[in-house]
Copies of this chain bind each other. A is one copy, B any other.
Amino acid sequence: MSELALLPITRLSAMMDAGETDAKALTRQFLQRIHGAGRALNCYVATCETTALAEARAAAERASARRRLGPLDGIPVAVKDNIDVAGVPTSNGFGGPAWRVPDEDSEIVRRLRAAGAVILGKLNMHEGALGATTDNPHFGRTINPYRAGYSPGGSSGGSGAAVAAGLCGAALGTDTGGSVRIPAAWCGLVGLKPSFGLISTRGVVPLSYRLDHAGPLTRTVADAATMLRVLAGFDPRCPDSRHAPEFPADDPAPGRLDGIRLGLLRNFDAEQQEPAVRQAFERALRQLSALGAHIVPIALPSYDAVQGRRAGFVRVEAEAAFVHAALYEREPQRFSPAMRHYLDYGRNLPATRLLAADRRIDRAAFELTECLQDVDAIVSSTTPQSAPAFDDHEPENAGSFCIPANFAGVPAVTVPMGADERGLPLGLQIIGPRHAEARVLRIAAGYEAASGVALTPPPLGAPPA
C-alpha cells in the first residue's frame, strides 16, 4: 500500500477514476507518512489534518458519483510556507510567533482547492526564501531524502523533499533565482518555473516583485503539466499577472525531438561544474541528439554568469529589505544574523547601485530573449553541483544557471538527469521563449521517457548516511 505515495499524480488520478483508490485512503496514507517515518526529514512546518480529511471526503464522494472535477480532484498536495493558506500562519521561514495569518487563500491555493486538490499542509523553506539549502534557523533543517546530512536544496527545500519522499503528491514552490528548480533537481524531481505573470503571486510573500515566480514540484513532466493547467491564469487582482495564450489541454507527448534546435549557452562555462554534473550533462546531450535534436553552441553577447548572479543578489536583497522593512524595524529578533546581514545590505543600498544591477539584469533579459529566437530552447545542467552536505560550505553559485530565466521571465523546467556517485540526484534544465511552456514540457517529456532516469529515494527513515 505504501508505494501509492510515490506514484505520479496522473497515475493516482487514473486510479481514482478506476475506483482503485480514493482520496480518503490516499490522504490518510500521506498523513501517516508525514507523522510517521517522514517526520525525520522535517519537511512540514504545519499540517492541515482536519480540513484535508474533509476535503478528501468530499473528493471521494465526487469520485463515487463519477463527478470528479478534473485530474487534481482528491490529490493531496502541499504548499511552501511563503504561500498563504487561509487560517494557517505564513512564516516565510521567519522565526517567532505567527506574524501573518491570512484570511484568504493565495490565488494558487484557491485554484488548487477549486480543482478539488487536498491541501495537506505547509512546507519548510530557506529563511525568507533567500538561500538554497533550507537549513532554517527557526524551523530546523529539511533533510534530502536521498542522503542523510545533505541539503534538499532551496529555497523550496521542504517542497522538494516532501514530494521526493512521498509525503505529498505534488507541491507548490516559489522561484526567484532557482528556488523551485534547485530543490527539484537535488531531490530527483521535475520543477517548473513558468513565464513571468503566468501563475499569480497574489498571496505569496514577495521576495522580488521583479523576479518572483510560483511553480510546481512534481514527480513527472506530465504531473507538472497537470499542475500548470490548474495554476496558470490571469489574475486581475495581481499587478504582476500577465495575459498569456492558453496552455494546451493535452499532456506533453513523450516523442522524438527531430529538428528541434537546442542551444548550449557558452556563458555558463564561467561557472565551475562538478565532474559528475558535467558527465551527466554530456550524456543527456547525447540522448537528446539520439532523439533527433540538434545541439547548437550559442552565446549571449555580453552576459557574465558570475556578475549576473551577483546583480540578482543585489536586486533581491534590496527588494527583501523593502518588503520586510516594517517587520524588521519592529521585530529584528525574528531574523537570523545571516538574514539581518542581507536586510541591512538592502536597507543601506543606494538607489544608484540598485539601478546598476537592474541595468545588468535588463541586458541579460534582452540577450536571453533574443537568443531564444534563434533556437527552440536552451539546455544546461540545472545546477553546477549536486546537493551539498549541511556541514560543507554553501555553494554560492547553485542558482547561476537558473537565474537568467528569472531575469527574462521565460519558462524553465528541470527534469531528472541521473545521480552522482553518492546517489545524489542531478537535473537537466530546459529554457524556452516566453509562453512556450508547452514546448519546454514537450522537450522535457521526450528526454524523461528516453533517458530512462526514474529516481526513487531510499525507504523513509533510512536515508543512507
Contact A350 B352 (CB under 8 A): no
Which of A209, A239, A325, A346 lies at the interface centre, i.e. has the most chain B CB atoms within 10 A of its CB? A239
Known: A351-B346, A351-B353. A363 touches B239 (CB 8 A): yes
Q: Which residues of chain B are near A239, meaning CB under 8 Å?
A: 362-363, 366-367
Cβ 8 A contact of A351, one of B236, B351, B366? B351
How far is the CB of A340 from the nearest CB of chain B, in Å? 15
Once bound together, how far apart are the Cα atoms of A108 and B101, in whole Å?
53
Q: Which residues of chain B are near A348, meaning CB under 8 Å?
A: 350
Residue of B nearest to A365 (CB): B239
Q: Which residues of chain B are near A352, meaning CB under 8 Å?
A: 318, 321-322, 325, 346-347, 349
Contact A347 B347 (CB under 8 A): no
Contact A370 B322 (CB under 8 A): no
The number of residues on chain A lying at the interface, defined by a beta carbon within 8 Å of a beta carbon of chain B, is 28
Task: Please provide the chain A residues from 334 to 365 with a CB less than 8 Å away from any CB of chain B in the complex.
Answer: 346-356, 358-359, 362-363
Residue of B nearest to A238 (CB): B366
Residue of B nearest to A354 (CB): B351
How far is the CB of A143 from the nearest CB of chain B, in Å? 36
When all copies of this chain in the complex are counted, the total is 2
Known: A346-B351, A351-B350. A370 touches B325 (CB 8 A): no
Contact A236 B355 (CB under 8 A): no
Known: A349-B350, A370-B236. A356 touches B322 (CB 8 A): yes
Q: Does A17 lie at the interface of the complex (its beta carbon under 8 Å from any beta carbon of B)?
A: no
Once bound together, how far apart are the Cα atoms of A321 and B356, in whole Å?
11
How far is the CB of A269 from the nearest CB of chain B, in Å? 23
Once bound together, how far apart are the Cα atoms of A362 and B209, in whole Å?
9
Once bound together, how far apart are the Cα atoms of A370 and B241, in whole Å?
10
Q: Which residues of chain B are near A356, meaning CB under 8 Å?
A: 322
Q: Does A240 lie at the interface of the complex (its beta carbon under 8 Å from any beta carbon of B)?
A: yes
Residue of B nearest to A353 (CB): B351
How far is the CB of A20 from the nearest CB of chain B, in Å? 45
Q: Which residues of chain B are near A319, meaning CB under 8 Å?
A: 355
Q: Which residues of chain B are near A366, meaning CB under 8 Å?
A: 239-241
Contact digits for A287-319, partner B, Cβ 8 Å, 1 yes 0 no: 000000000000000000000000000000011
Residue of B nearest to A323 (CB): B355
Which of A209, A322, A348, A362 lies at the interface centre, i.e. has the most chain B CB atoms within 10 A of its CB? A322
Q: Which residues of chain B are near A363, meaning CB under 8 Å?
A: 239
Q: Which residues of chain B are near A350, meaning CB under 8 Å?
A: 347-351
How far is the CB of A303 from the nearest CB of chain B, in Å? 11
User: Shortest 3 CB-CB distances between A and B: which pairs?
Assistant: A351-B354, A239-B366, A349-B351
Q: Given A347-B350, A347-B352, 12 other A-B contacts at CB below 8 A? A: A209-B358, A209-B362, A236-B370, A239-B362, A239-B367, A240-B362, A322-B351, A322-B352, A348-B350, A351-B353, A354-B354, A354-B355
Residues in chain A within 8 A of chain B (CB atoms): 209, 236, 239-241, 318-319, 321-322, 325, 346-356, 358-359, 362-363, 366-367, 370
5 A-B pairs in the complex with CB atoms less than 8 angstroms apart: A239-B362, A239-B363, A240-B362, A322-B356, A348-B350
